[in-house]
Chains A and B, each alone.
Chain A
Amino acid sequence: MYKIRLTPHASRALPLKYFEKLINMNELHQDDHFLLARKSQALQLRAKTIQSIRLFFINNDFLEVETPLRIPSPAPEEHIEALPSGNWFLQTSPELCMKRLVAMGYPRIFQISHCFRTGERGNKHLPEFTMLEWYVSGFNYQRLMDQCQEMIREVAGDVGITEITWQNEKINLDTPWERITITDAFLRYAPLSLNEAMVQNKFDETLVDYIEPKLGMKTPTFIYDYPAKLAALAKLKDDNPSVSERFELYIGGLEIANGFSELTNAYEQRQRFEEALKTRAATNLTCYEMPEKFLTSLETLPPCAGIALGIDRLIMIIAGAASIDDVVAFTPENL
């Protein structure tokens, strides 16, 4: 077997001759050489990006944590299905444990972990994917958007990307990033208003058909101030409880991250979970147990903000890859 040694400056692809020794040449077609080289480039870029992300958080006084992948119950949400593991479940997100850590007195934490969601497979979805989540005491969602922007700019610079070219779009990271409310996004791009879409249960399809393709094109876009009904685990605005302090980041029309000012009211959070469980039961979906320990921890959770960012999606953007399959070592189908 030929050993591959990664050099410290592995920003160029491994020369093909490394692979020629590993693989029986007779079995490869012309296309395979190209695909192998491209995959190798993507995986190297992936490694560099993740290292750079780690460094950013370490340099900003964050503690890297690891929380269990296998948990008694996921946060009950209407449209997310957890993968069972024995009589427990694999995490759909590390959110519950990470917020408990913040409540226990860890003010700045981050984690890069695998998340599992069944029934999600497409050229932008994998049932097992990699998520970066970070939580900051004392931040609100606006400050968190600033930090997210800062992190991505620094990481892109680190891996040698000054301008993103994705699907024939040139996306500039240095000019000010776009920030618009979800209401304005609907007004600008959709044939119906946010309220109309909510009433007609057409929010997701309108978002996907009309709005997403326009977001994050010239520069990345933050969409914020989601309606209360779509708050998930975000707190509602003090001066306007019909709006939640939730935002999403889009780059090149691709959903990259979801963040909020965290809801710290245990009673309200329990109510939201109960609503979600009711809706799930009505459509015959699995009912999860109420995460009691998480709810208890909210009583000592300080004001903070948290965000979940899809690492595979970020790498797709940085590498210019059209499919999530191109940025992972193996897809479920390859195993």
Chain B
Amino acid sequence: MFTASDLRKGIRLKIDNEPYIVTEFNFVKPGKGQALYRTKLKNMITGSQFERSFRSVDTFESADLREKKMQYLYKEGDKYCFMDNENYEQVYLTEDQVGEAVNFMTDNIEVEILLFEDRPIGISLPNFVELVVTEAEPWAKGDTAAGSTKPVKVQTGYTILVPTFVTEGEKIRIDTRTGEYLTRVKG
């Protein structure tokens, strides 16, 4: 149990059995008066936000959040299966929970799954992934009529803008944080 004076921006608490993160924090206190700990809280599962003021006597529980390294195995229906390589435990995430990460997930890619009290609630990918270009318009040397970039499809079905010299079958490195092309990869 923590007291209000432990509150900081970025701290994660448990309210009504759900994990919240403090996105804004303000300490307010008239000279002779009571301290007020003003927070903006964001639900880490639903994303909904609300404001709450704590007093010195208030206490809170910190949220039991852990990140576990897991491997992506396969998709079954609308669920994605991940496995913990240490104990072979499997967890399933819904399409909603995986969200945009699906654009960068290759077979057996290692990810970090965010767990709240053993419930998976989020996923983190490595910063960079290498994906094969599966569909691209051909490029002829000397062809300057088109622009400097073109859209291509990669092995996960994701469409991305790349420089015009990138061809089908080539592997490219993508920054998963921005979704943008970085460079071609050899081999």
Chain A residues with a Cβ under 8 A of chain B: 77, 79-80, 119-123, 125, 203-205, 207-208, 212, 230, 232, 248, 255, 258, 283, 308
Contact = CB atoms under 8 A, between A and B. Distances in A.
Interface stretch (B32-40, B104-112, B140-148): B32-40
Contact of A80 (B26, B28, B32, B57): B32
A204 B36 contact: yes
- From A123, A204, A232, A255, name the one whose CB has the most chain B CB atoms within 10 angstroms: A204
Contact of A208 (B5, B28, B56, B57): B28
Given A205-B53, A283-B57, A122 B32 contact: no
B27 A203 contact: no
11 contacts: A119-B5, A119-B35, A120-B35, A121-B27, A122-B29, A123-B26, A204-B34, A208-B36, A212-B30, A255-B31, A283-B57
Contacts of A212: 30
Given A208-B36, A283-B56, 7 more contacts: A79-B32, A80-B32, A122-B27, A125-B27, A125-B29, A205-B36, A255-B31
B32 A232 contact: yes
Given A205-B53, A283-B57, A122 B26 contact: yes
Contacts of A204: 29-30, 33-34, 36
Contacts of A120: 27, 29, 35
Nearest to B53: A205
Interface in B1-60: 5, 26-36, 53, 56-57
Interface residues of B, number: 15
Contacts of A122: 26-29
Given A205-B36, A205-B53, A255 B27 contact: no
Contacts of B56: 119, 283
Contacts of B36: 204-205, 208
A203 B33 contact: yes
A203 B32 CA distance: 11
B35 A207 contact: no
B45 to A, nearest CB: 29
Contacts of A248: 31
Contact of B32 (A125, A208, A258, A283): A258
A230 B30 CA distance: 12
Nearest to B28: A208
Nearest to B26: A122
